[in-house]
Structure 1
Amino acid sequence: MKTVTLYRAPTTPADVDAVGDWLDDRIDATVRVRDRFCALYGDEPLAEAFADARVLDPYDRETGNTMLGIVRYEERALDDPERAGGVIYDGLAVQRALYDQLSAEERTLDHLHVPVLDRVVGTWGDHDGRWHKRVNVLGQPGLISVPGLYEAPAKPEQYYKEKQRHAMVSGDAPPREVLESTIDGEFLVADDPRTTDALKGYVLQAVHYLSTGETFCDESGCRLHNAHRQPGVVAAQLDTPEFCPRHAERYRS
């Protein structure tokens, strides 16, 4: 791999320039940072692609609503990303749509593109027949979802118990902020100041996959580990050491 281009996500707390500096110290490739992908390449076809990639039902494999009003909404969201939210998108469909926006000379496998997105992306699980939110979708381009960092990995079990208890007593779900302030255990929350540090490993996972063909590391204390629960994310991405012995040899700064 010769070049990695990262794309900023200005509506999130992710400092993509800092991620780029961290990555540049660990890989033998040129690391570049550009402005938000959808601002650089957004157009009507891309808005239609986002509309077509919308997950309509968490238990239905079929996606998409390309009615005029939805496409117009997606056009506005491309121009003003703070308007977007509350939607899950098929990550593989979004990946294909963003790939199509790249110029022919930048679609090569030796130039990885990593858009850091303010959208929630997911993949369909054939094993259980439902959509699953994801932090990243590996491939070209490699997608990173900032809200997915908070929403995709499961929170500590006590979080869900407290949520259920509150619902039984009051008849509705407690505000997210109340739950987050009362539950013991390590997990990331929306706009978490640790967001940038946590995303570094997920960006590296995209680089590692395109460079080696390997997916995730089985070692729970390695940044290349794909943790399914929030405490595991904290352990893999924020605790030390950064890597298992095998990957430390490759990615030691």
Structure 2
Amino acid sequence: MVETVTLYRAPTTPADADAIADWLRDRVDAEVQVRDRLLGSVDGADALAEALAAARVTDPYDRGTGNTMVGVVRYEERALSAPERAGGVVYDGRAVQHALNARLPGRRGLDHLHVPLVDRVLGTWGDHDGRWHKRVAVLGQPSLISVPGLYEAPAKPEAYYEEKSKHAMLTGDAPPREVLEADVEGDFLVADDPRTTDALKGYVLAATDFVETGTAFCGDEDCRLHDAHRQPGVVRAQLRAPEFCDRHAERYG
């Protein structure tokens, strides 16, 4: 039984941890508290920097990860102290989860769930197709919620990729992201989207639900506990009515 949920801020992102916590308090029978950025407050920052370097995905089709050369570790150290300098890297979400679990403050049992909002892109390996997949959430202890993953992990509408391909054929270059986002019709989330906070609420609740029930996400595409694999599905599940399927409305509605 989850008695306490600690949510950690990601100050370099538009995600409002306090607003998410207020929403969560109305839906779970647990104390919900908010702390500052976990990646900026853990003990053993040098060891964490090396762990992050080792968790880097270096090839989307290679299960192996990591580059712990001195320069890479130094980059991770700088990114821990100045997160606005981080970006462009995908990390093995399970490896990051394992590294952070050993450094969690306070109680580490499942009665106290830690949910860091992180400013890193996380992925998990797919045994079914032999490649890495970006994720919004990596559930467990701690449950990691990737803010950039909200924009990058779920696939965008087909028109987005069609326009991207057409532009590349005409110019030989990939079009700037801003051009595609302006030209393509369809509802999808973009970097620094003002809907970020609302869209993340369901993922944070799903983290709590997973620890309580052992079930990862919901199969109903209209439920906020659904893990949509396409951007229109994220908008449908997180930003459109109804808020929950019947089963989860009874539990959280």
For this structure pair, what is the TM-score category when the shorter chain's length is used for normalisation? over 0.9
Q: Which residue of 1 aligns with 2:53?
A: 51
Cα distance in 2, alignment partners of residues 182 and 65 from structure 1: 38
Q: Which residue of 2 aligns with 1:232?
A: 233
The number of residue pairs the alignment matches comes to: 251
1:215: Cα distance to partner?
Answer: 1.1
Q: Which residue of 2 aligns with 1:110?
A: 111
Establish whether residue 173 from structure 1 lines up as the match of residue 174 from structure 2: yes
Q: Which residue of 2 aligns with 1:247?
A: 248
1:202: Cα distance to partner?
Answer: 0.5
Q: Secondary structure at the match of 2:41?
A: helix
Q: Which residue of 2 aligns with 1:3?
A: 4
- AA matched with 1:213: G
Cα distance in 2, alignment partners of residues 66 and 94 from structure 1: 14
1:113: Cα distance to partner?
Answer: 0.1
How high is the TM-score relative to the length of structure 1? 0.98
| Contiguous gaps of at least 5 residues in structure 1 | none
Q: Which residue of 1 aligns with 2:78?
A: 76
- AA matched with 2:136: V
Cα distance in 2, alignment partners of residues 102 and 121 from structure 1: 19
Q: How does 1:9-88 map to 2 (within 5 A)?
A: 9-41=10-42, 43-88=45-90
Cα distance in 2, alignment partners of residues 98 and 74 from structure 1: 14
Q: Secondary structure at the match of 1:207?
A: helix
- AA matched with 2:224: R
- AA matched with 1:201: G
Partner deviation per Cα, 1:109-141 (whole Å, 9 max, x = no partner): 100000000000000001111100000000000
Cα distance in 1, alignment partners of residues 217 and 40 from structure 2: 31
1:39: Cα distance to partner?
Answer: 1.1
1:208: Cα distance to partner?
Answer: 0.4
> What percent identity do the matched residue pairs reach?
72
Q: Which runs of 4+ in 1 moved over 4 A?
A: none
Cα distance in 2, alignment partners of residues 217 and 194 from structure 1: 22
Partner deviation per Cα, 1:141-169 (whole Å, 9 max, x = no partner): 00000000000000000100000000000
1:241: Cα distance to partner?
Answer: 1.2
Q: Which residue of 2 aligns with 1:93?
A: 95
Q: How does 1:140-159 map to 2 (within 5 A)?
A: 140-159=141-160
Q: Which residue of 2 aligns with 1:136?
A: 137
Q: Secondary structure at the match of 1:214?
A: coil
RMSD of aligned residue pairs (Cα, Å): 0.7
Cα distance in 2, alignment partners of residues 92 and 187 from structure 1: 27
1:106: Cα distance to partner?
Answer: 1.3
- AA matched with 2:194: P
Q: Secondary structure at the match of 1:166?
A: helix
Q: Which residue of 1 aligns with 2:211?
A: 210
Cα distance in 2, alignment partners of residues 116 and 102 from structure 1: 14
Cα distance in 1, alignment partners of residues 215 and 57 from structure 2: 28
Q: Secondary structure at the match of 1:106?
A: coil
Cα distance in 2, alignment partners of residues 23 and 216 from structure 1: 16
Q: Secondary structure at the match of 2:5?
A: strand
Q: Which residue of 2 aligns with 1:186?
A: 187
